[in-house]
Amino acid sequence: MSNIKRAFANGKAFIPFITCGDPDLTTTATAVRAAAANGADLIELGIPFSDPTAEGPVIQGANLRALSGGVTTDKIFACVREIRQDVKVPLVFMTYANVVFSYGAEKFLAACRDIAIDGIILPDLPFEEKAEFQPICQKYGIDLISMIAPTSQNRIAMIARKAAGFIYIVSSLGVTGTRSEITTDLAAIVQVVRENTDVPCAVGFGIATPEQAKKMAGLSDGAIVGSAIVKLFEQYGKDAPQYVGAYVKSMKDALR
């Protein structure tokens, strides 16, 4: 069983997202540990990028704060290596194709293997262009995680059949950010996924409350939360980890 699949082995998975380096990497490491200790089943780590096209203003702000603070990909790798001394839950990088491409895909993914990163999500990588990274991911044992959006429609089955790790189902059109309600027919999307693969799927974009998380996980295998967590770093800065831990616990409790 892959490490990512293990995240979905004990009921519904809760997946928090943390932007690396916001406000600094010491805080990032403390927050990751707090999330893991409070029930996070898998943690997404954002590598900041200057033009994060899938992100709303909250995560854009976190990217800018992290980059202004001098965070680099190499510093993030060193941080994760240190986190991995005691954090065993699956860890997945979420970043943009240009970050990997400019670093050197081979070098980037070899480093991911060396620091025990389990998967990578590239929101700006079209399914049709996965071949640019897929063979290198497979070489180093990194799951290249697919995203399915409400606009995927007749491509859902095709994407599901080629999926690895887990499938990230985007709940709504537009960029990341909390939403008061999610109106997409996610049940129909999940049904097509289930008919074509046994790879687990989790819903993200717009989830902020335990009630929303419970509803989304009821339709799928888990819930992903980004902006609501990143707001805690914006609000509390270096004191954020304790609030992140409490938030993760409330969300995980809702999924149990």
Using pLDDT thresholds of 50, 70 and 90, give the confidence band for residue 152: confident
pLDDT in tens, 34-49: 999 999 999 999 999 8
Q: Does the pLDDT value for residue 175 go beyond 70?
A: no
DSSP H helices, 115-167, are: 134-139, 156-161
The encoded tokens of residue 66 equal 């992290």
Core vs surface per residue 40-63: b (16+ CB within 10 A) or e = bbbbbbbbbbeebebbbebbbbbb
Distances (CA, A) of 29 to 5, 87, 128, 235, 241: 23, 10, 35, 18, 9
Using pLDDT thresholds of 50, 70 and 90, give the confidence band for residue 1: low
The model's pTM: 0.94
Predicted pLDDT of residue 174: 47
User: Which domains, from first to last, does the chain contain?
Assistant: 12-248 (3.20.20.70)
Q: Are 173 and 150 in contact (CB under 8 A)?
A: yes
